[in-house]
Every structure is written in structure tokens, then in C-alpha cells.
Amino acid sequence: MTDLNTLEAEVLAQVAAAGDLQALDAVRVAAVGKTGSISGLLKTLGAMSPDERKERGAAINALRDRVQSAITEKKAALEAAELDARLSRETLDLTLPGPYRRKGSVHPTMQVMDEMVSIFADMGFAVAEGPDIEDDFHNFTALNFPEKHPAREMHDTFFFEPKETGERMLLRTHTSPVQVRTMVSQKPPIRIIAPGRTYRCDSDATHTPMFHQVEGLVIDKGIHMGHLKWTLETFIARFFETDAVTTQFRPHHFPFTEPSAEMDVQCDRSGGEIKIGQGTSWLEILGCGMVHPNVLRACGIDPDEYQGFAFGMGVDRLGMLKYGMPDLRDMFASDSRWLAHYGFSGFAAPNAASGLS
Ligand code: DAH
């Protein structure tokens, strides 16, 4: 009669020696498979007396259970080892292109800014820049904001914690401080635009806490409102790529210009969308004016010798108008579906020769 202890020792040794899942399966079939050695033992029970069968049957079943659990354990160990081996064998290069590649695109705000720069560059303007974190002097004082002007208050301006000196830095609320920085560092004639980020504590369908402006500044002898009007009307016609744009200048107030105006473009608001160059409505798109003598003086320029004009416009808002985006907040939501829909090709940089958009 087969010695169960010997058989068990043999089978367990084979289980332990199995080097891979295939070898282990062969051991399993040979031991507990239909025609395996242990299954074969069970078949001999029929020829035994009931007492013998009871005792021997229990022993064989227990043997089979032990062998089976040894196989299960070994299988788990082999699988884990195989996974470890695969993980160390297969490295994943995240820089390789994946099966699905969304093509990158130029954000509409950047596209619109490039369009504006290209139009003004063509008119002889240089691009100037200034810091996003400004001081009170450049953002307000030098721009002739009275001491208690409401725009200095917390509800509009993001202030930083005061320094030890009590001075509070702030996130610039407009690109106009670049006018100041340019005038104190350059001699006239000056002809610059300053595209950049601006910040105000405001958020709804047409306001976001961070938005973009383009500032313009021209300083020279004999500059007057006629120059301002021609420059802005020419810009608008080129930007909207049509001569059919009608504009109007409305008197307004800005501390840093005198006289000041807002420029509106004629548009049609019927039918839920805004169409430029037709209709009976007006849409405000920028602020402008003749640079205030106090601002020239604050920047070391003699207002009796030099005059200038300035303007400031919202880039994102002009982009919404030109490309038909209904909600300003979508611009900064980083939704890749929105970017895929409204984005522009990186290879089609706007320029006066081949067109803007
Ligand atoms: N800084 C103004 C604003 O953010 C816009 C502006 C108006 C800029 C008139 C100018 C200007 O340079 O002359 O609302």
C-alpha cells in the first residue's frame, strides 16, 4: 500500500521545486488531477472494508487538502514573483507619445494678444512690460489717483500684508503702471503698448479675478486727440478684420487722462449674440484719453513741452467678442475640450502679411 507520508513528502517537494506556473500546474495535474497519484488513491477506497475505508479515506482527503493548499500558496508566490519581474523588466517612458494625443493649441487670450501686438507693431509701437506685483506709487499715486479714491479700497484691489514700513504691495489692477515705468525710464518720443495680466477682486460672467489688458502710450510733441482717434479706429478695423466697424467716443473720467473717453463699437445685440459692424447698439471696449499733466510731471516730463495719449483695453473681452465666447470664466477653467474648440494653431502666428486669425 502506498505510504501516504512518503507520497506527501514527494509531492510537496515537487511543489516547492516548481520554478514557474507551468511546472506547478504539471505537479498539480500529476497529484490531484483526474488521473493523478492522490486521485488514484481515492479510487482504491471502493475495494476496502468500511472501517478501513473510513480511516484511510479521511487520511487521503486530508493529504489532498494539504497538497492543494500548498499548491495554492505556491501559485500566489509564483504570480507575485512574476509580476515583480515584469515590473522591473518593463519600464514606462512617460515622455513617449501615448495612443491618444490631444494637439496643443494656443489659448485664445494669447492669440488675441499676439494679434494686438502685431497690429500695433505695424504702426510703430514697441512692447513694454512691468511687474504683476506693484507698489502704490506706480499703480495709483503717479497716475493721479486722489488719496481716498475708491479704487484703492480692498474690494477692488488685492493687497499684500503690509511691510514693516507700513507699505502695502498689491497685484496691479491695470496695466497703466507700465506707462509710469516707461516714462520714468525712457525719454520721449515714446510709443509703446504693454500687454499683461491684471487683477481685481471680482468674478461673474464678464469679470474674472485675473484678466488681461493691453495698455498703450504715445508721448511726443504736438500729440492731440486726432492721433488718438485715428490710432484706435485703425486698430479696431484691423482687429475685427473689417472696415465696416463704426466707433463712437463718449466722455468719461479717468484720473490719469484729461480729457478722458470711452470708445464704443457699433453692434447688433438681437438674436442672443453680438455682431460687430451692424445694428443699433453700442458696446464699450476701451478707455482712453490725453495723458494728464500731473502724470507727466510725476514721471519727470514737462507737460508744456510734451503731450501724449493713452488707452487701455481688456484683451479677454475683445477675444470673446471677436471669437464668440459667451462666458469669460471659461477662458481660465482649463477645460481641454474648450481649449480644443477655441484654441489656435501654434504654427499660425498672427502677422500683418499673412493675416491675423
Ligand atoms: N486703466 C484703465 C482701467 O483699467 C483703462 C485705461 C483707461 C487705460 C484710459 C488708459 C487710459 O491708459 O488712458 O480701467
We report the CATH number of the domain holding residue 293 as 3.30.930.10
Answer yes or no: is 148 within a domain. yes
Neighbours of 12 (CB within 10 A): 17
Q: What is the model's pLDDT at position 202? A: 86
β partners of residue 281: 267
Q: pLDDT for 125-181, tens place per residue? A: 999 999 999 999 999 999 999 888 776 776 689 999 999 998 999 999 999 999 999
Q: Which helix (H) or strand (E) holds 336?
A: helix 336-342
Whose C-alpha lies nearest to ligand 1, atom 4? 174
Answer yes or no: is 233 within a domain. yes
- Give me the residue label for grid cell 477675444: 319
Taking Cα atoms as reference points, which of 316, 321, 116, 127 lies closest to residue 235?
116
- Please indicate whether residue 196, judged by its CB atom, sits closer than 6 Å to ligand 1: no
Between the two ends of the chain, the Cα-to-Cα distance in Å is 93
Answer yes or no: is 225 within a domain. yes
Whose C-alpha lies nearest to ligand 1, atom 2? 312
Q: How many domains does the chain have?
A: 2
Percentage of the chain exceeding pLDDT 70 = 96
Neighbours of 70 (CB within 10 A): 19
Q: What is the model's pLDDT at position 218? A: 98
Q: pLDDT for 295-345, tens place per residue? A: 999 999 999 999 999 999 999 989 988 888 878 888 888 888 888 888 888
Q: What is the model's pLDDT at position 155? A: 60
Based on the fold, state whether residues 124 and 166 are members of the same structural domain. Answer: yes
Based on the fold, state whether residues 264 and 329 are members of the same structural domain. Answer: yes
Based on the fold, state whether residues 40 and 174 are members of the same structural domain. Answer: no
Percentage of the chain exceeding pLDDT 90 = 58
- Residue/partner pairs of 346-351 with CB below 8 Å, 24 or more apart: 346/104, 346/105, 346/106, 349/114, 350/111, 350/114, 350/115, 350/118, 351/118
- Please indicate whether residue 308, judged by its CB atom, sits closer than 6 Å to ligand 1: no
Q: What is the model's pLDDT at position 172? A: 97
Whether 214 has a pLDDT exceeding 70, the answer reads yes
Q: What residues contact residue 30 under an 8 Å CB cut-off, 6+ apart?
A: 14, 36, 37
Based on the fold, state whether residues 222 and 157 are members of the same structural domain. Answer: yes
Structural domain that includes position 25? 4-89
DSSP assignments along 303-325, one per residue: TTT-EEEEEEEEHHHHHHHHHT-
Q: What is the model's pLDDT at position 357? A: 64
Answer yes or no: is 160 within a domain. yes
Pairwise CA distance, residues 214 & 265, whole Å? 17
Answer yes or no: is 350 within a domain. no
Based on the fold, state whether residues 206 and 318 are members of the same structural domain. Answer: yes
| Cβ–Cβ < 8 Å for 281, 259 | no
Answer yes or no: is 344 within a domain. no
Based on the fold, state whether residues 154 and 256 are members of the same structural domain. Answer: yes
- Please indicate whether residue 195, judged by its CB atom, sits closer than 6 Å to ligand 1: no
Based on the fold, state whether residues 205 and 57 are members of the same structural domain. Answer: no
Answer yes or no: is 342 within a domain. no
Pairwise CA distance, residues 311 & 214, whole Å? 8
Pairwise CA distance, residues 16 & 70, whole Å? 9
Based on the fold, state whether residues 73 and 129 are members of the same structural domain. Answer: no
Based on the fold, state whether residues 76 and 202 are members of the same structural domain. Answer: no
Based on the fold, state whether residues 62 and 116 are members of the same structural domain. Answer: no
Q: pLDDT for 88-140, tens place per residue? A: 888 888 888 777 777 788 999 999 999 999 999 999 999 999 999 999 999 99
Whether 1 has a pLDDT exceeding 70, the answer reads no
| Cβ–Cβ < 8 Å for 141, 297 | no
- Please indicate whether residue 289, judged by its CB atom, sits closer than 6 Å to ligand 1: yes
Q: What is the model's pLDDT at position 206? A: 75
